[in-house]
Amino acid sequence: MKTSAKRAIEQLTLTPNEEFTMKENGFVGTLYRPEKDEYPGKAVIMFGGSDGIYPFTRLMAEKYVKRGMAMLALAYWNEPGLPDCFEKIPVEVVEKAALWLWEHGYEKVGLWGISMGAELALLAGSLMPELISCVTAVCPINICGQGFIKKKGVMLLDCSAFSWRGKEIPWARLRFSRRRVLRDSLREKGVCLRSCYENAVLYAPEEAQIKVENIDGPVLLFYPEYDVMWPSELAAKRITERLKKKDFAHLYKCVSYRYASHMLIPVTSRFSMMFKAERKYPEKCRQSDTDAFEKTLVFWKEVW
């Protein structure tokens, strides 16, 4: 097990109420029920990003459980029975988790995702509006992206990152150049993949754009003013423009932070130090993380 995963496990403090596996349940997840339920009838499915460290997702879920929300931490890749790279990952794992929650008494099911998990949250919400009634996307993207594998760097695959009902979801081709990524990362003093995604975010064909207007519930977006990992601020603008153009029936809200990074989460992590903003303004970034956490809880309580 990776050292980073070990560190995440060592910080876990809550006892799971249910554990799920692909073999037994068709999805990999951990359900936590709060001691005092502050959101009766509601549950949120949470997933992380492309790091694929499932214990870290569980750790983030615990933060919300301690504030009274039932949380199901979900793995969608890099766990037994799941894909080991971003190649046609089946969105059905979210569907199966949501169905389980519905079948066990939850009347509203929401999604929370960050980075690639935000992409999945928006996709899943748009594909299954009958099951999902709220989406929170942190550092979002407005497209279904190209598949890739991470082995000694990143290698793009000629396919979609996600699939639905056995078919690839239409996807936007990325522009990956190791030389450009290295140049940008050196300039930003941290991992920078913006150049790979900017063209797709701004000019993706209609079929590759996530149909966010199909989400049947409120949408909450968080992002830093300038996201070096990928252009989530540009993507959020595209998402809100689309919702407005399509006369979206529900409330949607965008919250941006001057002092924040792609790790806009309520968990202190060594991964945060990958970003210059986190190293230069650690206290202000922590304040942004906390503010996003609190605003999420208020949104779930008052809007959803």
pLDDT surpasses 80 at 152: no
Percent of the chain with pLDDT over 90: 80
How would residue 31 be classed by pLDDT, with cut points 50, 70 and 90? Answer: very high
pLDDT surpasses 50 at 2: no
Q: What does pLDDT average to over the chain?
A: 93
Give mean pLDDT, residues 57-75: 97
pLDDT score for 258 = 97
pLDDT surpasses 80 at 158: yes
pLDDT score for 1 = 44
pLDDT score for 154 = 80
pLDDT score for 188 = 82
- What's the predicted TM-score (pTM) here? 0.94
At a CB cut-off of 8 Å and minimum separation 6, what does 234 contact? 198, 201, 202
pLDDT score for 8 = 53
pLDDT score for 10 = 53
Nearest to 24 by CA among 92, 70, 80, 71: 80
pLDDT score for 75 = 97
pLDDT score for 270 = 67
φ/ψ of residue 22, rounded to 5 = -60, -40
pLDDT score for 69 = 98
Highest mean pLDDT: which of 24-33, 176-185, 270-279?
24-33
Residue 213 CA to residue 245 CA, distance in Å, equals 9
At a CB cut-off of 8 Å and minimum separation 6, what does 157 contact? 85, 86, 87, 146, 147, 148, 149
DSSP state of 143: B
Tokens of 175: 């522009």
All structural domains of the chain: 3-302 (3.40.50.1820)
pLDDT surpasses 50 at 12: yes
Question: Each residue of 199-253: pLDDT tens digit?
Answer: 999 999 999 999 999 999 999 999 999 999 999 999 999 999 999 999 999 999 9
Give mean pLDDT, residues 15-31: 96
DSSP state of 206: G
Looking at per-residue pLDDT, the higher value among 208 and 12 belongs to 208
